[in-house]
Amino acid sequence: MSHKPETLALHAGWRADPATGAVAVPIYQTTSYQFQSAEHAANLFALKELGNIYTRIMNPTNDVLEKRVAALDGGVAALALASGQAATAFAVQNLARAGDNIVSSTDLYGGTWNQFANTLKDQGIEVRFVDPEDPENFRRATDARTRAYYAETLPNPKLIAFPIGEVAAIGRPLGIPLIMDNTAAPIITRPFDHGAAVIVYSTTKYLGGHGNSIGGLLVDSGNFPWEEHAERQPALNTPDPSYHGAIWSEAVKPLGPIAYILKARTTLLRDLGSCMSPFNAFLTLQGVETVALRMERHCANTSAVAAWLAKRPEITKVFHPSQQAGVGKQRAEKYLRGGQGGLVGFELRGGREAGPKFIDALKLFYHVANIGDARSLVIHPATTTHSQLSPTEQLATGVTEGYVRLSIGIEHIDDILADLDQALKTAG
């Protein structure tokens, strides 16, 4: 479908239930699917035909969510997973094996940092962290065993847009795909338009949008020439013993350019089992239907809050793309085309002591470890989301002791500002 995002969010991947005519996507709450014949079953398992086998690896409700988000991002296929963390792990493990490395931006969600610095390391995959201020840092950290680059589109706390095009352009001639976590910027940024090869989402955030379901998604652009880089990308170009020696970049030829996502589904999801439940896929689809509208309001409210905070005497610094100069401003203009996001951070003059006072004084905002809910949310990253990082690691990601992060909801702006006002006065 070549419709605009607002339309795709409502229509892509589904018209009506062929059996009943139901317009809302049904929840296919089933573990398995009746095969038409023994031959049909054998063909499905051999990937000679694509079809439903078992809900751990595919489900018709999840399928609509996958198709819809792939359409929104201009990709060819997607894979729904149990959480954003599962999507991140799969994104990397699909290409990198023990002894390999990836190069990642330092500006990451704390959970991703931990996964990279500890769990993937224990599995033998090295993650080399580099400062994205200079895109050339990615090239400098690359060697023959580098399988991917990884970054977030609009990483908090710094909220400086990532140079997607610049880093994708460094990787492409080397055969290195850029994986973008676009969790904080659906609709407003389309990473594939700038050369990214794979997108990761925590659907828990803006795509779901209502704080009711943990979920993740991988989206395949279908635009990365895996076959041209056989040496660089052995996982997709050498026989896979777990699938009768299938070479994924060749096996998918009759199916389209979906080698990356098909391998993730048929090997990692089969073996590790982090599937999204169909019920969560249904709830996430309800969110996706309104994501374009919500992003508009999130962005408008957040820009208004950032401008208002910047004038407050209790605040020393505001973190939001609208407050940036130089390279941050240029990147925001280039990459955040549909708005500047729903997150804003700030530092209180009162520092470490004022932070908790301010948070406890808020009445409308929820104090939770989440972002992207329709409701306004607040958190103090140094003692929560980023608390398992060392002080040096915290600073590398941009978390300081006095930093407070707001995820601005879609309430009326007057009510949001009134709550912030009374809390700032209380915190002093």
CB of 280 to ligand PLP, least distance (A): 11
Give the burial string for 27-43 (b: 16+ CB within 10 Å, else e). bbeeeebebeeeeeeeb
CB of 380 to ligand PLP, least distance (A): 15
Residue 89 and residue 120 in contact, taking contact as beta carbons nearer than 8 Å: yes
CB of 320 to ligand PLP, least distance (A): 17
If we measure between CA atoms, which residue out of 203, 277, 282, 288 comes closest to residue 22? 282
- Residues near 195 by beta carbon (within 8 Å), at least 6 away in sequence: 164, 165, 168, 169, 172, 178
CB of 18 to ligand PLP, least distance (A): 32
CB of 182 to ligand PLP, least distance (A): 9
Residue nearest to ligand PLP (CB): 84
What DSSP string describes 351-417? HHHHHHHHHHH-SSSEE-S----SS-EEE-GGGTTTTTS-HHHHHHHT--TTEEEEE--SS-HHHHH
What DSSP string describes 216-265? EEEEE-S---GGGGTTT-HHHHS-BGGGTTB-HHHHTGGG-S-HHHHHII
Is 163 or 211 the residue whose CB approaches ligand PLP more closely?
A: 211
Is 113 or 248 the residue whose CB approaches ligand PLP more closely?
A: 113
What is the helix (H) or strand (E) element at residue 293, kind and residue range? helix 291-310
Integer Rg of the chain from CA: 22
Is 111 or 328 the residue whose CB approaches ligand PLP more closely?
A: 111
CB of 181 to ligand PLP, least distance (A): 5
Is 246 or 344 the residue whose CB approaches ligand PLP more closely?
A: 344
CB of 229 to ligand PLP, least distance (A): 27
Is 63 or 107 the residue whose CB approaches ligand PLP more closely?
A: 107
Is 70 or 81 the residue whose CB approaches ligand PLP more closely?
A: 81
Point out which residues bind ligand PLP (CB under 6 A). Answer: 83-85, 109, 111-112, 152, 181, 183-184, 202, 204, 214, 216, 371
According to the 3-state scheme, what is the secondary structure of 144-173? CCEEEEEEECCCCCCCCCCCHHHHHHHHHH
Helix (H, G, I), strand (E, B) or coil at 20: coil
CB of 35 to ligand PLP, least distance (A): 33
CB of 423 to ligand PLP, least distance (A): 23
CB of 219 to ligand PLP, least distance (A): 14
- Residues near 282 by beta carbon (within 8 Å), at least 6 away in sequence: 25, 27, 61
Is 204 or 249 the residue whose CB approaches ligand PLP more closely?
A: 204
CB of 202 to ligand PLP, least distance (A): 3
Tokens 């050339």 sit at which residue?
A: 136
Name the token pair of 396: 């590398």
Is 70 or 89 the residue whose CB approaches ligand PLP more closely?
A: 89
Q: Give the pairing type, strands 315-319 and 366-367.
A: unpaired
Phi then psi dihedrals of residue 130, to 5 deg: -135, 150
Q: Give the pairing type, strands 377-379 and 403-407.
A: antiparallel
Phi then psi dihedrals of residue 270, to 5 deg: -60, -45
DSSP 19: T
Name the token pair of 80: 């729904």
Is 195 or 211 the residue whose CB approaches ligand PLP more closely?
A: 211
Is 152 or 166 the residue whose CB approaches ligand PLP more closely?
A: 152
Is 58 or 214 the residue whose CB approaches ligand PLP more closely?
A: 214
